[in-house]
Amino acid sequence: MRKLFLLGVLVTIVLPACALEPITVAQLEKKIAAYTADRAGASIPIQRMQDDGLVFELNRLSLSERLNSEKQDQIAKKCFLGPLATSALQMLAARSALLDPPAGELPDKPPPDAETLQRMITQARTFVFQTLKRLPNFFATRTTTSASGITPDLNKNGMALRMGLFPAGGSSSEITFRNGEEILEPMKTAGPPSLPEMGLES
C-alpha cells in the first residue's frame, strides 16, 4: 500500500512537468536567445549544446500563434541553431500552421464590410479559374518532408515516452505543370502503391 501511495505522489509530480507550455512567437524568440546566451561560454561547442538541451525544451512548448517560415529562419540564423534544434523548431512551426499570426503581422486596418468582402471573394474566384489557367508550362521539384512522433498534447496518460516530432525522411520528385494543371507522368506513377507514412508532411 505504501508503495502505491508513493507511486501516486510521483505521478502527480511528473505529470505537470509534461504539460505543454503555451508561448507566443516573441516569447519563443527570447527564450531561445536566452538559452543560447547562457551556453555561449561553455567548453562544449555551442551547436552541440543547443541540440542536446534545446530540442527537449522546444518539444515541451506549444505556440499560441503562427510561426511563419521567414521568422523561423531568422531565429535559427540569429541563434546559430544546430541541425537537431533547427528541425525541432520546424516541427514546432508546423504544429502552429493553423493558428492566427501574431498581432504585429496583421494589417492595421478594420475588417472589410460585406460589399468589400464579396468583391474580394469574387476576385479570388476569378484568379483561381482564369489566371491560373493562363500560367506558362513549367517543371518544378516537389520536396516532401516527413516527421513522426508523439506530441506532449497527445500524451494523455503522461507515459514516459520520447516526446516531440522528429524527422522521418523525405523525398523529392519532378512535377510537370502544363495547360493550367499538373500532369501525372505514367512512368513516374507506375509501380505498387507505397504504404502511408506516419506523422506530418509539409
Q: What is the pLDDT of residues 70-94, one digit of tens each?
A: 999 999 998 888 888 888 898 889 8
Please state the pTM of the whole predicted model: 0.59
Structure confidence at residue 7 as a pLDDT band (50, 70, 90): very low
Neighbours of 23 (CB within 10 A): 18
Lowest mean pLDDT among 6-15, 38-47, 159-168: 6-15
Give the Cβ contact number of residue 93 at 10 Å.
20
How far is the CA of 3 from the CAs of 7, 9, 15, 56, 158, in angstroms?
6, 10, 18, 30, 19
**Spacing of C-alpha 174 from chain mean position:** 24
3-class secondary structure per residue, 101-153:
CCHHHCCCCCCCCHHHHHHHHHHHHHHHHHHHHHCCCEEEEEEEEEEEEECHH
pLDDT, tens digit (0-9, with 9 covering 90-100), for 106-154: 888 888 999 999 999 999 998 888 887 788 888 989 888 777 776 655 6
Q: Compute the mean pLDDT over every residue in the chain, rounded to the nearest whole number.
A: 74
What residues are paired with 90 via a beta bridge?
A: none
By the 8 A CB rule, do 124 and 180 touch?
A: no
The candidate with the shortest Cα–Cα distance to 201, out of 146, 156, 163, is 146
DSSP string, 42-100: -SS-HHHHHHHHHHHHHHTEEESS---HHHHHHHHHHTT--HHHHHHHHHHHHHTTTSP
What are the cell numbers at 193?
Answer: 502503391
Residue with cell 515516452: 161
